[in-house]
Amino acid sequence: MAKVLVTGGAGYIGSHTVQKLLLSGHEVVVVDNLSTGFKEAVPDGTDFRHGDVRDSDFLSQILTKSGIEVVINFAAKLNVAESIQKPTEYYDNNVGGTLSLLKACDTAGVNKIIFSSTAAVYGDSCADGAISEETQTGPINPYGWSKLFSEQLINDAAKASDLKYVVFRYFNVAGAAEDGSNGQRTANAYHLVHLASQAGTGKRQELKIFGTDYPTPDGTCIRDYIHVEDLADIHVLGAEHLLRGADSATLNCGYGQGYSVRQVISSALEVADTKFAVAEDVRRPGDPASLVADSSKMQALLGWRPLRNDIRTICRTALAWEKKLTSQIT
């Protein structure tokens, strides 16, 4: 059992991962500045430290004093549209945060890092077929670039030291804990499944389809949606992989199954309590037509098998969580 530092552990994916780490018997310290995370998302039994990942001294002190063996870095900004409006903020947070973490790890002698990256590093380079880690990268928005630059920093640091890393490139993360204990709390999250869940509980009157003229079978964008608990399991396996002394790797995380925006909306409507209107709108800037993962490398290396790879499970758990949030507020 290991001591793990989770930065951004009060966020959506981070907090689900903390739950899974604790269940696997690991000790967890969470660092989060609560800019988008929620203290109440951090499970009991976690050592919570309020602070910013860009504060390298703060991090290195925690790493040293808590005897951390591996760091999982979720702390980042992740809204594509916002990254186009505020690129410098994205580079400051995401690239600056990675640099600060690398310095802190170097100072504290911690040499194992799990890093959250994204399918946005592939940009529009995919169109036909699934994307493997060898697919040419080429982000089309500052968010994607901030993650690709961060990957490069980690890669260079590893070449110059004994640092080992696992970079996970997430496709579309969605859904909520099946036991109803956790889910997406950010009220203004803009992701499709989240918005569809809000519509399904009557919090939103209408859902918009951003672009119906993409070169896809039904004209809407295709994405590979992965359940947040499956992704959390992957992180535990990744950390344990490094703790066993394994080599660095960059790995895609998805199911290899794409759904169009229309297909997701139709699943969301199937599970919804309240039917909602769907309107067609223009394309959203920065959206690639199709992103579907080839995650065979990750599955082979970590021995991971998907447990929740069904778009209805994703929509159902997201809706149940949204209902729970609503009942807590009212």
Identity of the residue, 140 or 251, whose beta carbon is nearer to ligand UDP in the bound complex: 140
Identity of the residue, 163 or 173, whose beta carbon is nearer to ligand UDP in the bound complex: 173
CA–CA distance, 65 with 63 (Å, rounded to integer): 6
Identity of the residue, 190 or 274, whose beta carbon is nearer to ligand UDP in the bound complex: 190
Pairing of strands 222-223, 259-260: antiparallel
At its nearest, how many Å lie between ligand UDP and the CB of residue 232? 18
At its nearest, how many Å lie between ligand UDP and the CB of residue 158? 27
Identity of the residue, 193 or 236, whose beta carbon is nearer to ligand UDP in the bound complex: 193
CA–CA distance, 248 with 133 (Å, rounded to integer): 13
Binding residues (CB under 6 A) for ligand UDP: these are: 80, 172, 190-192, 195, 207-210, 221, 223, 261, 284, 287
Identity of the residue, 165 or 171, whose beta carbon is nearer to ligand UDP in the bound complex: 171
At its nearest, how many Å lie between ligand UDP and the CB of residue 269? 14
- Return the ∠ at Cα 119 (arms to 226 and 78), rounded to 5°: 85
Question: Where would I find the beta strands (DSSP E) of the chain?
Answer: 3-7, 27-32, 47-50, 70-73, 112-118, 164-170, 172-174, 206-210, 222-223, 225-227, 249-253, 259-260, 277-281, 290-291
Identity of the residue, 26 or 223, whose beta carbon is nearer to ligand UDP in the bound complex: 223
Is 190 assigned a catalytic role? no
Identity of the residue, 112 or 169, whose beta carbon is nearer to ligand UDP in the bound complex: 169
Sheet holding 290-291: strands in order across?
Answer: 259-260, 222-223, 290-291
Chain centroid to CA 35: 16
- Distance set, CA 177 to CA 15, 48, 206, 227, 260 (Å): 11, 21, 25, 9, 23
At its nearest, how many Å lie between ligand UDP and the CB of residue 266? 13
The 10 Å Cβ neighbour count of residue 69 is 19
At its nearest, how many Å lie between ligand UDP and the CB of residue 262? 9
Question: With contact defined as beta carbons under 8 Å apart, do 287 and 219 qualify?
Answer: no
Question: With contact defined as beta carbons under 8 Å apart, do 320 and 248 qualify?
Answer: no
CA–CA distance, 16 with 10 (Å, rounded to integer): 9
CA–CA distance, 76 with 7 (Å, rounded to integer): 9
Residue 329 burial by CB count (10 A; 0-12/13-18/19+): exposed, middle or buried? exposed
Q: For residue 273, give the nearest of 203, 224, 175, 226 by alpha carbon.
A: 203
> One of 91, 143, 170, 225 is an active-site residue; which one?
143
At its nearest, how many Å lie between ligand UDP and the CB of residue 222? 8
At its nearest, how many Å lie between ligand UDP and the CB of residue 29? 29
CA–CA distance, 201 with 278 (Å, rounded to integer): 15
Residues with a known catalytic role = 143
